[in-house]
Structure 1
Amino acid sequence: MNLRRGHLPRERSRAWGRAADLMLGVRFAFTGGREGWTRAALTAVGVGLGVALLLLTTAVPNALEVRHERESARTDFTFSSSEQLPKADDTLLVADVGTDFRDDSVRGRALEPEGPRAPLPPGLDKFPAVGEMVVSPALKELLESDPGAMLRERLPDRIVGTIGESGLIGSGELAFYRGADELAPRINGGVVTRIDRFGDPNPTEQESDPVLLLLILVVFVVLLMPVAVFIAAAVRFGGERRDRRLAALRLIGSDSRMTRRIAAGEALAGAVLGLVFGAGFFMVGRQLAGTAEVFDISVFPSYLNPSPLLALLVAVAVPAAAVLVTLLALRGVVIEPLGVVRAGRPARRRLWWRLLLPLAGLALLYPMVGNGRDNGDFNQYMVTGGVVLLLVGVTALLPWIVETVVARLGSGGVAWQLAVRRLQMSSGTAARMVNGIAVAVAGAIALQMLFAGVDGDYTESTGQDVSRAQVEVQLPSEVPMAPAAEKLRNTEGVKAVYDYSEGWVGDRARDPENGTTMTVGNCASLREIATLSSCADGDVFVVQGAEWDGDTDPTKLAVAGRKLYLDPSYEGAPKSLEIPWTVPQGVKTAKPRLGLLAGTDRGGFLLTPKAMSSALAPALSGHAYLRLDESVPDVQDHVRNTAAAVHPLADTVTWSATERTDRFDAIRTGLFVGAACVLALIGASLLVSQLEQLRERKRLLSALVAFGTRRRTLSLSVLWQTAIPIALGLLLASVVGLTLGTVLLKMTGTPVRVDWTGVLSMTGIGAAVVLAVTLCSLPPLLRLMRPEGLRTE
């Protein structure tokens, strides 16, 4: 071999030699017998789990984009059509008949084609007839199950097909299309509209919000950092056995550089095998994603297609990182022919350079303190770099902290002494196991603080008094209010119903200059929305000083004998009913009542039932506000079923005291979904790491058992070995997380407030994951603690 190299140019000969050393390491990874294969498999599983999550992460942007495209492609309500389309052979009438079932939203549309060329919704082959419906696979499964019996009462139409993937935004979406007729008289641009094609004709881009962009950046960094840490730890599985093999290589003549290249080749082999495992895990996870729903988010497997460029980056970066991590780890190890110096007392770790990493991160973030959302976007590179350096600082500081603390731990029981001595000999290995969970908890605490701090900016009050009503039922104008309200009162779990018929009245039949609302209800209902001195059936009131009326003074319209028009027409809109109404004698004055059911004070005219002529009914739509006994199971679904029985287009709205911005909610949901995946990776990787550690100590455990050590003592020592580093890691994670959270809040211009409940919950989740992993590792530990483990070849 040396003679052949001599005939080649020196640089080329060196390159061939280095490549040969790397390939020798690859051969050692796969030809080292059962031990070699076990180590390679453990490394591959650890790396593969990280690679799978990285691939899933790179597929997330594409999945979100596809969901958005599918949602946009089936858009049928644009809420911008002041001019309705005329009826033609290519038009379709669409009614929004969506509902809720328990905590799930059900998207529903009633369809009435007006010609042979009416547009089909995406995912449908033909229109369902009246009495038929086409449903999503998830809704079909629900309707055919026992828990869906109550929803089946609300959707009694015969199922004639399922919606195709192109018409759904996720595999778990609940959606249906049903046939309908006689929708044309109800066109209003809101509940019923006429369209000639599906899709948003005027898509608009949302204005960028610097704080939301900052949230997205930090979420991605926080979710991906633990993955990188776990991959770095996985390529170092079996480090002690590897070093002993390298010492044997030194004994037969290899120099230190060749030895390190061979070690890098072993790591490279494990990383490449991990890429293969990761691709397999990704394909399995991709298929499982089609059957799973996390925080109401579901996708089809076809959505999860990683960007080719990002996938290539993962394929190159993971093996390169494996080689780099191995070479850096061996810099502090002296491998000699007769052993590894690491087995002796290692040199104490230095603190100064470990502090530079978080300080550098703070230095990158500091210039953006106080920017808020009014001083332009945050520099994404500085934000990413600062957060990464702070979280990497956790991985740098934790080994020093573990080493310093365990060196000072005193004496105790046998289990304690075994655990402490093991930690003193290999504190670096213990810290590597905990690094990933510490980074995840630190990032989660910071995000929890940031979300809690800016939550108020994206949450606003609805004005709805949920202590007086919890559900609102809106009825079409042709539905008589009195019998409908009676049916609602008789519904199980309904304690009270406040019903009103409402419309708009103007001073002219067309294009009125002044207008106000007209509300019809009994005295008990009217007292919920206005302060009345006295009330009897037949009275008419005008509300003075209501905020709802703005600049219009309804008392100027309340002149006895004056003719007003209910449901007046406006230029550019279809002709309305224009029903005349004469103001009667003896109109009483009322004052608005604050804290109304509908979220704002009610103005205009208030009529009791006897004061309303039957001619006005077609222009009035019904509203019922219900107070419920929420101890009754599924009480809201009982109300929805009753409303659907009253009229198919009845809309049931569940009230809430506050509502959040959709984009803020989407980012928060994305964080929860990502955190769930990362926690699953943390648990799986920790378990693999724990099993690898136990495998390396198999002979030692067997020797202790052979000398009479109780299995309970050894099990307790393993628990202490895990508990001490995790306690230190979680403490460090809390400090770093609170620091990062404080800086991020100052960057957004938000007062700093520590959400201690969130901090404790994040810390508790991290501890629970480690405890679960430790408990799962006890059965293998008991199998390893047998005298037969002393046998060797």
Structure 2
Amino acid sequence: MSSSGGARTGPPVRARGPAVHEWARDLAMGMRFAAGGGREGWIRTALTALGVALGVAVLLLGASVPSLTAAWHGREKARENLGQEHPPKAADNTTLYASADTVFHGTQIRGRLVRPDGAHPPVPPGIRRLPGPGRMIVSPALKELLDSPGGALLRERLPYSVAGVIGDEGLLGPQELTYVARPVALRESAGYRIDHFGKAWESPPMRAPVVLLVIMTCVALMMPVMVLIGTSLRFGNERREQRLAALRLIGADVRTTRRIASGEALFGSLLGLAGGAALFLGGRQFASPITLWDVNVFPADVAPGALAAAAVAVLVPTAAVLVTLIAQRGITVEPLGIVRRRPPLRRRLLWRLALPALGTVLLLPLSWSGPWTDTGLNTLRLAAGSMLLLFGVTALLPWLVDAVVGRLRGGPVPWQLAVRRLQLSSGPATRAVSGITVAVAGAIAVHMLMTGMQAGYAAAYAKSGELPRVGYWAEAGDWPHARRALGALRATPGVSAVRGVIDAPVDRLPRQGDGAAGGANVGIGSCAELRRLAHLPSCRDGDVFVTDARSGKAGRPPLAPGAALDLAPPVADGTPAPAPRSWKIPATARTARLASPGDGPGPFPAPYDVLATPAALDPARLPAPLMEIQVDFDRGTPDALERIRNTAARFDPTLREYSFLDNPHDQQLSSVRSAIFTGSVITLLLIGGGLVISTVEQLHERRRLLSALDAHGIRRTTLGWSVLWGTALPVVLGLGLALGCGLALGTLLLTMIDSSVTVDWLVVAGMAGIGAGVILFVTLLSLPPLWRMMRPDGLRTE
């Protein structure tokens, strides 16, 4: 029993965690070690900073996409007016506005025509005032093209004198080809009247293959970047552990060594953060010449949001500290230069298989449910499934390396040395090779997707462009106007055939005792033009023909002579219905058989129910008639297509073209493929540099063993081959995993867009070749340090 006057013993006081100043002191000491580690230390720090810098630059580029697209679409909306719900009447502040887009050697050129109604018309951004009659204001890129020798045909198409250059605020990008011109004469029916620029409108959504490609490109870029950053932070880990052991010898505890190690990693990550920002700022200056999917931007547009930039600036150093602390938990640093690792745990396969299996489960329903639909849930499932599949491959690699090398026995001496080294410690090699695995797998999947898309576009354009044909359509005036256009096109060199009519949709009016009503199409043209559309018994101006276009179609009986038609049918977009314009098919109308049923000359082929000559039906009675022209030409005539376009523009610059002759997707997809391949090569080379550092440090740890082997007469070539095999085994296994994962993911992606599975084996072989190059690169750079360490004096000790 204790005395009442005795002091009571309270519960033991727990040691408080390290104060903030202790963390700051140890982190600062680690940063000094990283900064003052001599030549070898600086090489390791520089390599870490370079890997982090590349990752940070890519992250900042990805974070710039929202602001980039916002700026691009903002300028697009600010300079455009697609028509007003209530068009203004001609006044001092209005202008007649028309589109005059054209194509030159496969490149789209945006053109706008204006005719001011007064002294104060609206002016689009980038232009101080509208040009005078016969003059135009052009973008810098278009001016350069017009001034070049290759722009001679284009100068004929744009018969305006250049009065100025459009400023940056009026351009989507520095490489855009656009102009604003004021022709001497501009018909009222060719355009519409506006009183301001800047129209609130939503851009059309991207098509499914493009959305899929954008998502996968982001995943394929970001996953190697994250692995690369994590791998870069582990460069020089062996030498760091030796230094920490020395610190333990002079009294530092384990927690202190971990904080000091974090400081070393923090120094490299901060250098990489600064280098990545500099690399991003310098690299975005080269954004001007790059055009992807017709998107070209100014360098100032490539700027991450403040929140995204702050997140990158905080997360990268934080990741450096966390990765280092996690790595330090796997070792026990003791004094006297001894690093005693914890007993190795058996690598479990189940959870490593669960990651790619879960990714596959997320992706398979997307490929089974038919063509891709762009929804938020589908986007999330695609991104998550792809990331899990790619990350699962990196998780499988350590298990696969251990499983393979653990079963290898015998073989030549270099092979046994390499296998034994991997059996003892495969962690450093697999960490670096995991970056190769995810980079190659992502690159193969994206290349497969782009190859399938490219092949699909090429096949579609090849089929549609088998017959060299181009079409034009525009609001029609009268038949003499259309006849002059047809004559001018027929006189163009290289043209083999031209056909055209004025057409419009009409509505059937119910007859007494007949409730059948519905849409129909009427075509107006001279007898010569109508004979190109149908087999006519005879024809003269004033004749009308009803065709067999609807014969055999249920619910749509063919028209008959005497049927009543409404020439001004109601529009289905909710606008008020126009006043009916009744017209009756003459009783003298005869029946004609279409030469090609369902193949009209316009952009939307439709069968003609009625064919009429201008004397029988005046085009002026139609509320919105269209002049539709189809031109066949000879591919062997030089620049035949460009000369046809010149003739069409000379006759009427507002003629709109439709054709399937220029495939704009081929060059765009090829440029993206080249960029992805180049990025993969850079990533692989950088990871190869990390493998060099890791290999040299492992050789340094074994320098006494190497000296003993040299003293016993082991040849240098034997150890050189052992380095080669020690590097090759993990890389080959990683490339095998990457090939399987990339092909599986690419197949799933192509299935989502209903495309045939196409493998670009040249890219696969190129990736495998680069992997082999990395093996040789690591081996060759590791040989000089190996020769230096194989000396008998390395056995001396004190």
TM range (shorter): 0.7 to 0.9
- CA shift, 1:233, in A, is 1.1
Q: In 2, distance between residues paired with 1:114 and 1:550?
A: 51
Q: In 2, distance between residues paired with 1:148 and 1:426?
A: 65
Q: In 2, distance between residues paired with 1:199 and 1:310?
A: 29
| Structure 2 residue aligned with 1:104 | 107
| Structure 2 residue aligned with 1:304 | 302
Q: In 1, distance between residues paired with 2:493 and 2:790?
A: 67
| Structure 1 residue aligned with 2:193 | 194
| Structure 1 residue aligned with 2:5 | none
Q: In 2, distance between residues paired with 1:114 and 1:548?
A: 52
Q: In 1, distance between residues paired with 2:569 and 2:364?
A: 59
| Structure 2 residue aligned with 1:757 | 758
The change in CA–CA distance for 1:723 and 1:788 in structure 2 (over 3 A counts) is closer
- CA shift, 1:226, in A, is 1.8
Retained in 1: the 8 A contact 2:561–2:585? no
> What runs of 5+ residues in structure 1 fail to find an aligned partner?
1-8, 660-664
Q: C-alpha offsets along residues 474-511 of structure 1, whole Å, 9 cap, x if unaligned? A: 365467445544543454544x3231121348799xxx
Q: In 2, distance between residues paired with 1:610 and 1:15?
A: 96
The change in CA–CA distance for 1:436 and 1:674 in structure 2 (over 3 A counts) is farther
The change in CA–CA distance for 1:157 and 1:304 in structure 2 (over 3 A counts) is same
- CA shift, 1:304, in A, is 1.7
SS class of match (1:124): coil
Retained in 2: the 8 A contact 1:529–1:592? yes
The change in CA–CA distance for 1:97 and 1:688 in structure 2 (over 3 A counts) is same
The 5 A counterparts of 1:281-680 are 281-339=279-337, 349-359=347-357, 361=359, 378=377, 385-408=384-407, 427-443=426-442, 466-474=465-473, 477=477, 480-482=481-483, 484-489=485-490, 491-494=492-495, 496-504=496-504, 516-520=521-525, 526=530, 529-530=533-534, 532=535, 534=537, 540-546=544-550, 555-556=559-560, 583=586, 585=588, 587-591=590-594, 593-594=596-597, 596=599, 598=602, 599-606=604-611, 622-630=627-635, 634-655=639-660, 679-680=677-678
Retained in 2: the 8 A contact 1:499–1:521? no
Q: C-alpha offsets along residues 411-466 of structure 1, whole Å, 9 cap, x if unaligned? A: 88899788767766764334333323432444466667889999999999999964
Q: In 2, distance between residues paired with 1:778 and 1:488?
A: 68
- CA shift, 1:266, in A, is 0.7
Amino acid of the residue matched to residue 519 of structure 1? I
| Structure 2 residue aligned with 1:41 | 46
Q: In 2, distance between residues paired with 1:422 and 1:225?
A: 29
Retained in 1: the 8 A contact 2:134–2:184? no
SS class of match (2:127): coil
Q: In 2, distance between residues paired with 1:557 and 1:12?
A: 99
Amino acid of the residue matched to residue 284 of structure 2? R
Amino acid of the residue matched to residue 281 of structure 2? M
Q: In 1, distance between residues paired with 2:108 and 2:629?
A: 21
Retained in 2: the 8 A contact 1:171–1:298? yes
SS class of match (1:271): helix
| Structure 2 residue aligned with 1:95 | 98
Q: Which moved more, 1:538-547 or 1:323-332?
A: 538-547
- CA shift, 1:257, in A, is 3.2
SS class of match (1:11): coil
1:276 to 269, 274, 277: 274
Amino acid of the residue matched to residue 243 of structure 1? E
Q: C-alpha offsets along residues 583-635 of structure 1, whole Å, 9 cap, x if unaligned? A: 59563432473462545342133357999999999997543323344466654
Q: In 2, distance between residues paired with 1:207 and 1:642?
A: 34
Q: Which moved more, 1:731-740 or 1:262-271?
A: 731-740
- CA shift, 1:229, in A, is 1.0
Q: In 2, distance between residues paired with 1:123 and 1:247?
A: 66
Q: Which moved more, 1:512-521 or 1:589-598?
A: 512-521
- CA shift, 1:729, in A, is 2.6
Q: C-alpha offsets along residues 688-710 of structure 1, whole Å, 9 cap, x if unaligned? A: 33234435656979999x99989
The change in CA–CA distance for 1:16 and 1:741 in structure 2 (over 3 A counts) is same
Q: C-alpha offsets along residues 629-686 of structure 1, whole Å, 9 cap, x if unaligned? A: 4466654323222322333333332237999xxxxx9xx98x9988766654443233
Amino acid of the residue matched to residue 133 of structure 2? V
Amino acid of the residue matched to residue 23 of structure 1? A
Q: In 2, distance between residues paired with 1:415 and 1:304?
A: 51
Q: Which moved more, 1:345-354 or 1:728-737?
A: 345-354
The change in CA–CA distance for 1:787 and 1:464 in structure 2 (over 3 A counts) is closer
- CA shift, 1:52, in A, is 0.7
Retained in 2: the 8 A contact 1:499–1:622? no
Retained in 2: the 8 A contact 1:529–1:602? no
SS class of match (1:378): helix
Q: In 2, distance between residues paired with 1:395 and 1:361?
A: 13
Retained in 2: the 8 A contact 1:441–1:737? yes
1:86 to 89, 93, 107: 89
Q: In 2, distance between residues paired with 1:268 and 1:150?
A: 60
* TM-score for both structures, normalised by structure 2: 0.77
Retained in 2: the 8 A contact 1:529–1:601? no
Q: In 1, distance between residues paired with 2:782 and 2:389?
A: 36
Q: Which moved more, 1:173-182 or 1:681-690?
A: 681-690
| Structure 2 residue aligned with 1:6 | none
Retained in 2: the 8 A contact 1:505–1:517? yes
Q: Which moved more, 1:261-270 or 1:677-686?
A: 677-686
The change in CA–CA distance for 1:644 and 1:324 in structure 2 (over 3 A counts) is same
- CA shift, 1:60, in A, is 0.2
Q: Which moved more, 1:763-772 or 1:778-787?
A: 778-787
1:164 to 164, 167, 174: 167
| Structure 1 residue aligned with 2:513 | none
Q: C-alpha offsets along residues 171-199 of structure 1, whole Å, 9 cap, x if unaligned? A: 2221111122432x333xxx511111112
The 5 A counterparts of 1:170-209 are 170-183=173-186, 185-187=187-189, 191-200=190-199, 203=201
Retained in 2: the 8 A contact 1:31–1:37? yes
The change in CA–CA distance for 1:609 and 1:268 in structure 2 (over 3 A counts) is same
The percentage of aligned residue pairs carrying the same residue is 39
Greater Rg by CA: 2
Q: In 1, distance between residues paired with 2:609 and 2:232?
A: 71
The change in CA–CA distance for 1:291 and 1:447 in structure 2 (over 3 A counts) is closer
SS class of match (2:377): coil
Q: In 2, distance between residues paired with 1:685 and 1:318?
A: 18
Retained in 1: the 8 A contact 2:503–2:628? no
Amino acid of the residue matched to residue 152 of structure 2? A
Amino acid of the residue matched to residue 405 of structure 1? V
1:116 to 109, 114, 119: 119
SS class of match (2:98): strand
Retained in 2: the 8 A contact 1:592–1:602? no
SS class of match (2:81): coil
Aligned pairs, number: 755
Amino acid of the residue matched to residue 192 of structure 1? G
The alignment yields a C-alpha RMSD, in angstroms, of 5.5
Q: In 2, distance between residues paired with 1:361 and 1:216?
A: 19
Q: Which moved more, 1:602-611 or 1:546-555?
A: 546-555
Retained in 2: the 8 A contact 1:542–1:606? yes
Retained in 2: the 8 A contact 1:233–1:433? yes
Amino acid of the residue matched to residue 164 of structure 2? G
Amino acid of the residue matched to residue 234 of structure 1? S
The change in CA–CA distance for 1:399 and 1:150 in structure 2 (over 3 A counts) is farther
SS class of match (1:757): coil
SS class of match (2:16): helix
Amino acid of the residue matched to residue 48 of structure 1? A
Q: In 2, distance between residues paired with 1:128 and 1:708?
A: 85
| Structure 1 residue aligned with 2:129 | 126
* TM-score for both structures, normalised by structure 1: 0.77
The change in CA–CA distance for 1:609 and 1:354 in structure 2 (over 3 A counts) is same
Retained in 2: the 8 A contact 1:547–1:601? no
